Amino acid sequence: MIKTLLLPILLVAACLVAGLYGALHNQISYTVSPDYFHAFKFDQFRIPSELHNRLGASLVGWYASWWMGFLIGVPVLIVGLILPGWRLYASRCLNSFAIVVATALLVGLGALAYATLSFRDTPPDWFWYPSAAIDRMAFARAGFMHDFSYLGGFLGIFTASLYLIVERIRLWRRSRKTAVLSPSQTQGSAQRTSV
Other Cβ atoms closer than 10 A to 167: 18
Closest CA to 146 of 61, 68, 85, 42: 61
Per-residue model confidence as pLDDT tens digits over 123-157: 999 999 999 999 999 999 999 999 999 999 999 99
Closest CA to 96 of 151, 164, 165: 164
User: Is 3 a residue whose pLDDT tops 60?
Assistant: yes
Quickly state the pLDDT bin for 185 (edges 50, 70, 90): low
Per-residue model confidence as pLDDT tens digits over 49-62: 999 999 999 999 99
Residue 82 DSSP symbol: T
Quickly state the pLDDT bin for 175 (edges 50, 70, 90): confident
Whole-number pLDDT of residue 21: 97
- Average pLDDT in the 40-46 region? 97
User: Is 30 a residue whose pLDDT tops 60?
Assistant: yes
Whole-number pLDDT of residue 174: 85
Radius of gyration of the chain from Cα atoms?
24
pTM comes to 0.86
- DSSP calls for 101-142: HHHHHHHHHHHHHHHHHHSSSS--TTS---TT-S-HHHHHHH
Q: What is the mean pLDDT of the chain?
A: 91
User: Is 120 a residue whose pLDDT tops 90?
Assistant: no
Residue 153 near residue 101 (C-beta atoms within 8 A): no
User: Is 195 a residue whose pLDDT tops 70?
Assistant: no
Lowest-pLDDT range of 20-29, 159-168, 178-187: 178-187
**C-alpha angle 59-61-63 in degrees, rounded to nearest 5:** 70
By percentage, how much of the chain surpasses pLDDT 90?
A: 83
User: Is 96 a residue whose pLDDT tops 70?
Assistant: yes
User: Is 193 a residue whose pLDDT tops 50?
Assistant: no
Whole-angstrom Cα distance, residue 61 to residue 68? 11
Per-residue model confidence as pLDDT tens digits over 71-94: 999 999 999 999 999 999 999 999
Whole-number pLDDT of residue 188: 52
